[in-house]
Amino acid sequence: MNLTGNNDNLIWRLLRRNISAAQLCGYALSNFVGLAIILTALQFYMEISSIFSDDDTFLSRDYICISPKVSGLGSLTGGNSAIIDSTTIADIRRQDWARSVGTFTSARYNVAASLDMGSRSISTSLFFESVPDDFFDITPPGWTFDPAHPEIPVVLSKDYLTLYNFGFASSHGLPRLSESMIGLVPLRVSISGRGRQEWIPARIVGFSSRLNTIAVPEAFMTWANDNFGEGLPETSRIIVELSRPGDPAIGKYLEEHRLESAGDNRDTSTAAYFLSVLTAVVVGIGAAISLLAFFILMLSINLLLQKNRDKLHNLMSLGYTPAQVAHQYCRMVAVINLAVCTASVVAMLAARTAMHSALASLDLEFFSPWPVIGIGTAVTVAVSLLNFSFIRRRMRQYYY
């Protein structure tokens, strides 16, 4: 015979008479609304972040290229306005919105290139720059330079290929080239300086959407500047990886220090920043609603214990322990919280399905809901433990 189960049933039948169904429903509804808002907002943010996870998209790691603002006659008047000094670079590294900073190293020698295309040849002056490899959006094969076996790998901006195909080639009767084909075109580069000249074979190994330049490996740039470079090394451009894309503080800082950015997507960066702020606001609202629901439950339980004060003393006189009585209220709260968590997860999954249906034509890969479900479960467990602690503490106060 299960005496413990019978005792529990007797205690529950005695205590449930003064339970207010309206108060418990109010708690459950408020908690459901708050938790559903939190889970749906988190899932939405993770879905959008996973959709735009590539380097070229607006929620990925974002970069801007910063250079001094040139106005009027610029350096024609004898100024040196096109230089970013080391003090400014160090100050940018200390900014909250700057995750890392890299410098463009410019060629201090003359560069010319010859491109052979069948029976026609194109020669032009060029410029070279190098940046740390961490700031590239591509990892081209053979991105190195060995003076013993010289061949220069070159990365071009995708904009340059577009300008050639739809501007220069069409007006000069030259063939249009794809990215894969242009790497097969023979290219010779002349570097000269200090009274020396050398022709070195080169090949285009990739195209960058991030860097608006003609980039070469740092190893080649160091070798060429050491052997052909004239003048002192200067930094005219830097590239900054942003920790908070779209942060208004970025534009304010650049304006105050007479700097300007190029190659960044201001609209998309602002959209990413707005999305993160909006998600934080929505999650905050959901958390506030859940917190209010928690206090509603605490108030309801406190009023319930007040109404059952005489019954609790009678149960104590009959030999029941505070833990036995508190168990009944804890079980009630656990059932309500479990139902709220389940309903919130269902609401989040329904919202997720609706979003997937709206974006089905884009053929996107979406974020798994399990991490968010885990967050909801953890929040429910934490709230339940706080509820249990409050109930047991109040029960001991009424018994003693």
- Is there a contact between 283 and 43 (Cβ–Cβ < 8 Å)? no
Residues contacting 308, CB < 8 A, separation 6+:
15, 18
Q: Are residues 350 and 363 in the same domain?
A: yes
Range of the domain at 172: 62-265
- Is there a contact between 121 and 225 (Cβ–Cβ < 8 Å)? no
Query: What's the domain count of the chain?
Result: 2
Q: Which pLDDT value is given to residue 60?
A: 46
* pLDDT of 263 over the 70 cut: no
Residue predicted with more confidence, 270 or 357 = 357
Instruction: Give counts: helices (H), strands (E), the chain.
Output: 12, 12
Q: Taking the mean position of all CA atoms in its chain, how far away is CA 364?
A: 18
Q: Are residues 341 and 376 in the same domain?
A: yes
* Residue bearing tokens 């322990």: 321
pLDDT bracket for residue 1 (50, 70, 90): very low
Q: Which two tokens stand for residue 359?
A: 């974006």
Mean pLDDT across the chain? 79
Q: Are residues 23 and 98 in the same domain?
A: no
Q: Are residues 251 and 280 in the same domain?
A: no
C-beta atoms surrounding 46 within 10 Å: 17
Q: Which pLDDT value is given to residue 306?
A: 72
Look at residues 205, 230, 265 and tell me which one is the last residue of a structural domain: 265
Q: Are residues 242 and 326 in the same domain?
A: no
pLDDT bracket for residue 56 (50, 70, 90): very low
Q: Comparing C-alpha atoms, which of 25, 28, 45 is closest to residue 351?
A: 45
Q: Which two tokens stand for residue 349?
A: 């999954």
> String of b and e for 138-167 (b: at least 16 CB within 10 Å)?
eebeebebeeeeeebbbbbbbebbeebbee
Q: Are residues 244 and 223 in the same domain?
A: yes
Q: Are residues 12 and 124 in the same domain?
A: no
Q: Taking the mean position of all CA atoms in its chain, how far away is CA 23?
A: 41
State mean pLDDT over 227-248: 84
- Contacts of 156-165 with C-beta under 8 Å, sequence gap 24+, read 156/204, 156/206, 156/207, 156/208, 156/214, 156/215, 157/207, 157/208, 157/209, 157/211, 157/212, 157/213, 157/214, 158/207, 158/208, 158/209, 159/212, 160/214, 161/207
Q: Which pLDDT value is given to residue 70?
A: 73
* pLDDT of 224 over the 90 cut: yes
pLDDT bracket for residue 17 (50, 70, 90): low
* pLDDT of 235 over the 50 cut: yes
Q: Which pLDDT value is given to residue 104?
A: 92
Q: Which pLDDT value is given to residue 54?
A: 46
In eight-state DSSP terms, residue 52 is T
User: Positive or negative, the Cα torsion across 324, 330, 331, 332?
Assistant: positive
Q: Are residues 228 and 341 in the same domain?
A: no
Q: Which two tokens stand for residue 305?
A: 């214990």
* pLDDT of 150 over the 50 cut: yes
Task: Sort strands 110-117 and 187-193 into parallel, antiparallel or unpaired.
Answer: antiparallel
Indicate the range of 45-59, 118-132, 288-302, 323-337 predicted with least confidence: 45-59
Instruction: Give Cα separations from 207 to 125, 160, 251 (angstroms).
Output: 20, 9, 28
Q: Comparing C-alpha atoms, which of 302, 280, 303, 299 is closest to residue 291?
A: 299
Q: Comparing C-alpha atoms, which of 218, 200, 41, 194 is closest to residue 128?
A: 218
Q: What percent of the chain has pLDDT over 90?
A: 18
Look at residues 265, 297, 323 and tell me which one is the last residue of a structural domain: 265
* pLDDT of 14 over the 70 cut: no
pLDDT digits (tens, 9 = 90+) for 79-96: 555 788 889 999 999 998
* pLDDT of 167 over the 70 cut: yes
Type of residue found at 31: N
C-beta atoms surrounding 43 within 10 Å: 24
Most confident of the following: 132-141, 155-164, 192-201, 246-255? 192-201
Most confident of the following: 44-58, 234-248, 274-288, 361-375? 234-248
Look at residues 218, 235, 265 and tell me which one is the last residue of a structural domain: 265
Q: Are residues 70 and 171 in the same domain?
A: yes
* pLDDT of 384 over the 50 cut: yes
pLDDT digits (tens, 9 = 90+) for 23-35: 778 778 888 888 8
Q: Which two tokens stand for residue 144?
A: 């190195």
Task: Sort strands 152-157 and 196-208 into parallel, antiparallel or unpaired.
Answer: parallel
Q: Are residues 280 and 314 in the same domain?
A: yes
Q: Are residues 98 and 35 in the same domain?
A: no
Q: Which pLDDT value is given to residue 153?
A: 92
pLDDT digits (tens, 9 = 90+) for 320-362: 777 777 787 788 888 888 998 999 999 999 988 888 777 666 5
Q: What percent of the chain has pLDDT over 70?
A: 79
Outline where DSSP puts E strands in the chain.
62-68, 98-103, 105-106, 110-117, 120-126, 129-130, 152-157, 187-193, 196-208, 214-215, 238-242, 259-262
User: Positive or negative, the Cα torsion across 292, 293, 297, 300?
Assistant: positive
Q: Which pLDDT value is given to residue 208?
A: 87
* Residue bearing tokens 């189960």: 5
Q: What does the chain come to in residues? A: 400
Q: Are residues 230 and 186 in the same domain?
A: yes
